[in-house]
Structure 1
Amino acid sequence: MNTLLLIPTGEGVGLTSACLGLIYALDCNGIKAGFLKPFSQELPNQVDRTTSLFSHLFQGTTVTSIAHEKVLQRWALGERDELLEEAVSLHRNVAANYDVIIVEGLLPNAQDHFATELNAALAQALDAKVVLVSTADVQNPRRTAEKVEAHLHQFGGTSSNRTAGVLFMRTRGLPEETAHIPLTIDPSLRLDNEIAGFSKELQRYNRHLGSPTLPIIGMVPFSNTLSVPRTLDIASVVEGDWIHQGDAKHRRILHSSLIASSIEYELNKFIAGELIISASERTDVLLASSLATSNGIPLAGLVLTERKAPNPQILDFCQHAIKQGLPILHTQLNTLETAQRLADFGNEIPTDDTERAEQVTRFVSSHIDVTWLQAQINTGVQPRLSPSAFRHELVQKSIAAKKRIVLPEGDEPRTVQAAAICQSRGIAHCILLAKPETVVEVAKARGIELPDDLEIIDPDLIRNQYIAPMVELRKGKLSDLQAKEQLQDTVVLGTMMLALDQVDGLVSGAIHTTANTVRPAFQLIKTAPNYSLVSSVFFMLLPDEVYVYGDCA
């Protein structure tokens, strides 16, 4: 049984993200990885964050950690061996179902002074390879090296076979363009050149760090996008009460702005993802937030401070915005206190924020050296095509195929977002059939960044050129006038582009029914020779397997 023990060099290093990212990277390489946190550091009745997120993201089974109170008691009584025996028992229970076990070590903090010593003993008890998890600053290699070296001696130093590598999380000092969020594992995101350069600097202070003796297995950039909380998460931070919770569970706080001056000088702050902070008496701010929401700008939310909540009559006036999901929170704190508390808010992932956990997991996994990973894991089992591996292979094949895909529902918000993602990742060359100005408005309202090479075609400018070919394809069944009328439907227009081999595929269904999507293909492209029936399949990604269902409906 292969076991990797992740040891943090301090608090706030992103240990949970590191564990989940490593499990995902293994999963995408066909290796079934389990998770174990032997010793809890949570308060009584609190659920362990990593264990909870692992269970949700990977549908995996694990065991309950030894309660923190019990760990403290046994350590105080000198029952270290008994504590480790129980940890080994937990490990064996988990190991029965997995090829590899990722174990989360204790965080060294003021409360658990024994954490480092117990981590070292745990590594030995489980016969685990140790991966140190630390933050890094490319501009300050000396401090980074010293932080790692301070923990190395507990495991026999760099000469020990126990220490397998270092994973740098939340790395600062890297170019901003390195912090992209992948849809799946993307080897091109690994910062090989940056790691090589940083290793040379680190070796001025520790000659082994970054060498084959103690490799850097990944350098994960700090990402503002992935460190942002949901609006829902801030209520307890500012001691607030919800006036209207709305979409607080789904909206993200990308920035926050304190509105203090006249509203006409602050309108530039009312943008997608912005949390607006203002005194409750500023009804102009409430009205401006409502107007922005009504115009399709998804603000993160509105926090009203001090004194009483707004007058109900004002809230009634803003009902349209409220119905569109604008979160509104009231706190008795003053405006500056509120802003300061939000600025000091930590970036740990809440156990119920699974959307962010999924993004962070993919992001971390894409920066891990898979070659190193495969060298460490000698399972002796045939790799399986896990759901993660299936997605990975599908995306990689799509990237290699370089297909042109037309999207008839070109101004539908989800379609615009999907096209932007696919285009920026190279999954396909996307063509949106819509008015360019409408697509730009949708993107602006939703905070979507449109790639420069995303193709947007105004249907009105190309429709007439397909009239004659369409009449020819349906000879004897359509007149020019009828063809022109049918081409008003962008699905029909897109199908004509496909019929003439101007594109390789068409995707529709966000706002059109299956019948409306398929009918033009039957009429214009038809089935292949000797075939009269059309069938469909769904790829169903279950927790551990991929199933293919034919004709699901």
Structure 2
Amino acid sequence: MTRSVYVTGIDRGDGRQVVELGVMELLTRQVDRVGVFRPLVHDGPDRLFELLRARYRLAQDPATVYGMDYHRASALQAEQGTDELVSALVDRFHLVARDYDVVLVLGTDYADTQLPDELSLNARLANEFGASVIPVVGGRGQSAESVLAETRNAYRAYDGLGCDVLAMVANRVTREDRDEIAERLADRLPVPTYVVPDEPALSAPTVAQIAQALGAKVLLGDDSGLARDALGFVFGGAMLPNLLGALTPGCLVITPGDRADLVIGSLAAHSAGTPPIAGVLLTLDEVPSDEILTLAARLAPGTPVLSVSGNSFPTAERLFSLEGKLNAATPRKAETALGLFERYADTTGLARRVSAPSSDRVTPMMFEHKLLEQARSDKRRVVLPEGTEERVLHAAEVLLRRGVCDLTLLGPVDQIRKKAADLGIDLGDTQLIDPATSELRDSFAGKYAALRAHKGVTVELAYDVVSDVNYFGTLMVQEGLADGMVSGSVHSTAATIRPAFEIIKTDPEASIVSSVFFMCLADKVLVYGDCAVNPDPDAEQLADIAIQSATTAARFGVEPRIAMLSYSTGTSGSGADVDKVREATELARSRRADLKIEGPIQYDAAVEPSVAATKLPGSEVAGQASVLIFPDLNTGNNTYKAVQRSAGAIAVGPVLQGLRKPVNDLSRGALVQDIVNTVAITAIQAQGPARNPSEKASQQ
């Protein structure tokens, strides 16, 4: 069983940080405790480790991450030999390995290391660590023939030195050659080979990185604008019409600071989205007047305007030598890198080959990873009615970069594009629809009028109703133009789900629409229902909520063990409220004899084994309940919020269940990650009918 994975290369410039980040993502899906070890390190901050630490909330002491610096390693190898160097690094590695389930090892970088035969050193270290190896071959600027030869030779080199090669990666290959290389490498080697194309956005510096490298003054711009990738450079010296014709999406405009016409023209083009630019860099230490800067700020809020003292030619020389780097300050690049790796590498197959130790713990991060992976496995289209909302746009960017699902954004198209441009967000081929002007509005009005004719709704009235983004989005789902909908970041719960009740309606197998929250605790995920929809369900409805919640839990990898909560456990109490829960329990058992269900039961007896042993000894559910059904909305809503705040749990939801097609509501305080998770859940709900919970659980 593999305990560590060693990502290495054969030369510098292979861009293996994409692979290292992708493997870390894969490992953290499987186990809770992942350590990082870099045998040799240069002076200065380790950008990749800082990114891993920030992104995956690593608690590892940075002092344990590194073996030694290159200078000391070179001296030790020269004075005492390779064996002494390897022995010292092995000792350092085991200090990390003893504390973690699996260790990601970051191989040497072949950059000014002064180490002879670096490939052999990496191979030996991998063997001494007991690590499996993923060699990465850089293909940037190389022909297909060269990439093919280097990949085969790299495999032979590491295999010949006794390494357990998990997979080969040919990275940064020319996009035009990618499919040919992948086809020709298929079945040529005894291990999987993944071919990843070059992605310009990863090597493009951000505006903030440019400002730092040039020592530029930031005249205008916010953090979001400074985080934009500069995908190219356009030098302005000609008249404005000629400059506008030369602008390209994501370019940085470089112009003398006294050309106010070019500054304003570039920002006006950006504001119109034709095209969105990364920013403006002014040379010659010339700064426009305050009036011009005020106009610029109003034209394109947040768009960076920088100023440097040099002229355009030396500035250009320095710009063309800059290359973007993955680090903690570039989360967008990290999303792009992960999306690239997950698209071109068989992460499911690679996970099986890694064979990391299985863990019974399910951390919030592991749960979130699995949501994205499950949604990505069978991509669906989700419509987001709040297309001009900043958080929704940021979430859309993450979803698109990670390839989680296809998206439709609703709202005035020009406003969506302008807002996205101001935020530096590339929406790619995302579908944008304005319900007010859409050609679908007439047909939707007719369909809605027919559905609500019994309420006296005419086509004329329906024409106004369907211009509402939530009604329009719900009709898209109903008509199969989208697979699910997520709204609520700026709309009330009623505004989000009322159209679903009117148009999509309840699933024939459900008597009621209800909701659950996934409560992600430190080491497990619990399902709480119903905490958002039904104020006081009767016994029949409560039984249906329990069955729906079990099905939802199983669909998302939580084995359903259902606790029907009450203030009394077993037969110890009586009263109308307890009797309702007791009746609901019996109804649920009669309908689904395959489910593990207990009730009435108190919360402590449901989740704490020591209490369960006293109150309900021998129960299959008590002490280990995973699905907790509350008797009413007051109890459920207060409990989930109390646990969320006092226990630091992450609450994902509410997730609606019982509708014929998925529609989900957001909290108006939803964070970007909350929106990402809810969209992923919606996409998964749309993938097809859930399997029988007992069947699902038996396969895990």
**TM superposition score normalised by structure 2:** 0.62
Tell me, what secondary structure is at the counterpart of 1:517? helix
Counterpart pick for 2:208 among 232, 254, 262? 232
- Alpha-carbon distance in 2 for matches of 1:74, 1:217: 36
Counterpart pick for 2:335 among 338, 347, 358? 358
Tell me, what secondary structure is at the counterpart of 1:84? helix
- Aligned ranges 1:136-151 → 2 under 5 Å: 136=139, 139-142=143-146, 145=149, 149=153
1:126 alignment partner AA: F
Counterpart pick for 1:194 among 181, 202, 219? 181
Show the counterpart of 2:443. Answer: 462
Show the counterpart of 2:279. Answer: 301
- Alpha-carbon distance in 2 for matches of 1:502, 1:4: 43
Structure 1 residues 37 and 532 mapped into 2: Cα distance closer, same or farther (>3 Å)? same
Counterpart pick for 2:114 among 87, 112, 115? 112
1:226 alignment partner AA: L
Mapped pair 1:84 → 2:79: no
Structure 1 residues 67 and 249 mapped into 2: Cα distance closer, same or farther (>3 Å)? farther
Q: CA offset at residue 234 of structure 1?
A: 0.5
Tell me, what secondary structure is at the counterpart of 1:71? helix
- Alpha-carbon distance in 1 for matches of 2:482, 2:345: 36
1:125 alignment partner AA: E
2:254 alignment partner AA: I
Tell me, what secondary structure is at the counterpart of 2:169? strand
Show the counterpart of 2:160. Answer: 158
- Alpha-carbon distance in 1 for matches of 2:23, 2:385: 39
Contact 1:470–1:483 at 8 Å: present in 2 too? no
Structure 1 residues 423 and 93 mapped into 2: Cα distance closer, same or farther (>3 Å)? closer
Tell me, what secondary structure is at the counterpart of 1:237? helix
- Alpha-carbon distance in 2 for matches of 1:130, 1:481: 66
Contact 1:420–1:454 at 8 Å: present in 2 too? no
Structure 1 residues 265 and 497 mapped into 2: Cα distance closer, same or farther (>3 Å)? closer
Structure 1 residues 528 and 276 mapped into 2: Cα distance closer, same or farther (>3 Å)? same
Q: CA offset at residue 226 of structure 1?
A: 2.8
Contact 1:230–1:248 at 8 Å: present in 2 too? no
- Alpha-carbon distance in 2 for matches of 1:530, 1:148: 56
- Alpha-carbon distance in 1 for matches of 2:323, 2:276: 23
Which segment is superposed worse, 420-429 or 78-87? 420-429
Contact 2:168–2:194 at 8 Å: present in 1 too? yes
Show the counterpart of 1:223. Answer: 199
Show the counterpart of 1:205. Answer: none
Identity %: 24
- Alpha-carbon distance in 2 for matches of 1:424, 1:64: 29
Deviation by residue 1:398-434 (Cα, 9 ceiling, x = unmatched): x3xx6x7555446768768988998999977766666
Counterpart pick for 1:312 among 283, 290, 300? 290
Tell me, what secondary structure is at the counterpart of 2:377? helix
- Aligned ranges 1:44-63 → 2 under 5 Å: 46-62=44-60, 63=64
Tell me, what secondary structure is at the counterpart of 1:175? helix
Mapped pair 1:389 → 2:370: yes
- Alpha-carbon distance in 2 for matches of 1:274, 1:65: 38
Counterpart pick for 1:507 among 472, 486, 499? 486
Mapped pair 1:125 → 2:128: yes
Q: CA offset at residue 523 of structure 1?
A: 5.5
2:320 alignment partner AA: A
Structure 1 residues 164 and 344 mapped into 2: Cα distance closer, same or farther (>3 Å)? same
Q: CA offset at residue 198 of structure 1?
A: 4.4
Show the counterpart of 1:203. Answer: none
Structure 1 residues 27 and 37 mapped into 2: Cα distance closer, same or farther (>3 Å)? closer
Contact 1:7–1:104 at 8 Å: present in 2 too? yes
Show the counterpart of 1:41. Answer: 41
Q: CA offset at residue 7 of structure 1?
A: 2.4
Contact 2:205–2:324 at 8 Å: present in 1 too? yes
Which segment is superposed worse, 368-377 or 510-519? 368-377
Contact 1:407–1:506 at 8 Å: present in 2 too? yes
1:59 alignment partner AA: R
Show the counterpart of 1:188. Answer: none
Tell me, what secondary structure is at the counterpart of 1:132? strand
Contact 1:279–1:334 at 8 Å: present in 2 too? yes
* Residue ranges of structure 2 left out of the alignment (5+ in a row): 532-639, 642-700
Q: CA offset at residue 196 of structure 1?
A: 3.8
Q: CA offset at residue 238 of structure 1?
A: 2.5
Counterpart pick for 1:282 among 254, 259, 276? 259
Structure 1 residues 286 and 375 mapped into 2: Cα distance closer, same or farther (>3 Å)? closer
- Alpha-carbon distance in 2 for matches of 1:471, 1:151: 66
Contact 1:277–1:303 at 8 Å: present in 2 too? yes
- Alpha-carbon distance in 1 for matches of 2:374, 2:10: 35
Deviation by residue 1:41-89 (Cα, 9 ceiling, x = unmatched): 221xx32122222222323344331341543453454275554344333
* Residue ranges of structure 1 left out of the alignment (5+ in a row): 179-190, 201-209
Structure 1 residues 410 and 6 mapped into 2: Cα distance closer, same or farther (>3 Å)? closer
Q: CA offset at residue 276 of structure 1?
A: 0.3
Show the counterpart of 2:666. Answer: none
- Alpha-carbon distance in 1 for matches of 2:129, 2:35: 13
Which segment is superposed worse, 64-73 or 330-339? 64-73
